[in-house]
Amino acid sequence: MNVNELIHKICEVALSQETVKSVYHGDVYTNWNSAEVNYGSLNIGLQNITYNDQMCTYSFILYYGDRLLQDKHNINSIFTDGVNTIQSVVNLLNTGDMDIDSNVIYTPFEQQFMDYLAGVYAQVDITTQSTIGLCSMDAYDYKDSKDEIIEKLIEEINKYKAKDAELTLLLQEILHKINGETFE
């Protein structure tokens, strides 16, 4: 199993949990400092990969966070949801093709992101059969992001339409070139 496959599997399992409304991977500080986050949220942070005799151990930090009310009366509920959610994800992933260390230590936190959050995080080590060094293009997930780029350009064009006519024209020209059209 490679990094793409493993993160995809973790996301899939996490989203099956009732307490998880959004899943991100990468830097938790970047991901949770967005107005777009739906809470409770799980963030998957890859820390390192250890290769040993055709097996790989991937070390992740799994973060679970939810909005903390101003009077903080929901803090223990958030801690409980976080532990239960991460442990459920670990239990569901700990199958025949993955081995997960059962000694998981949960660390509670309170921190200001875009919103003031509470939650827990835990290091989770997942060992799988390695695909490192195999020359298989099937091991990688490639996506044509042309549609995503077009959507983002349209958003930017609409954002700047009233503010900057020159920038709007430039963005429209780029959009037309991506679509293979001529721009006049």
Query: What does the pLDDT read at residue 9?
Result: 92
Query: What does the pLDDT read at residue 136?
Result: 44
Residue ranges per structural domain of the chain: 3-139, 146-178
Query: What does the pLDDT read at residue 138?
Result: 47
Three-class SS of the chain: CCHHHHHHHHHHHHHCCCCCCEEEECCHHHHCCCCCCCCCEEEEEEEEEEEECCEEEEEEEEEEEEECCCCCCCHHHHHHHHHHHHHHHHHHHCCCCEEECCCCCEEEEEEECCCEEEEEEEEEEEEEECCCCCCCHHHCCCCCCHHHHHHHHHHHHHHHCCCCHHHHHHHHHHHHHHCCCCCC
What whole-number percentage of the chain has pLDDT above 90? 56
8: exposed, middle or buried (Cβ count in 10 Å: 0-12, 13-18, 19+): middle
- Which of 20-34, 73-87, 145-159 has the lowest average pLDDT? 145-159
pLDDT at 52 > cutoff 80: yes
Structure tokens at 169: 């024209």
What single letter denotes the amino acid at residue 176? Answer: H
- Tell me the mean pLDDT in the region 23-27: 94
pLDDT at 151 > cutoff 80: no
Query: What does the pLDDT read at residue 184?
Result: 55
Mean pLDDT of the chain: 84
86 φ/ψ angles, rounded to the nearest 5 degrees = -65, -40
Confidence of residue 181 (pLDDT cuts 50, 70, 90): low
pLDDT at 174 > cutoff 70: yes
pLDDT at 49 > cutoff 60: yes
Strand partners, 112: 116
Nearest partner of 24 among 40, 5, 11, 39, judged by Cα: 11
pLDDT at 147 > cutoff 90: no
Which CATH class, in words, describes the domain spanning 3-139? Answer: alpha beta
- Tell me the mean pLDDT in the region 122-150: 66
Query: What does the pLDDT read at residue 164?
Result: 67
What single letter denotes the amino acid at residue 116? Answer: Y
- Tell me the mean pLDDT in the region 54-72: 94
67 φ/ψ angles, rounded to the nearest 5 degrees = -65, 135
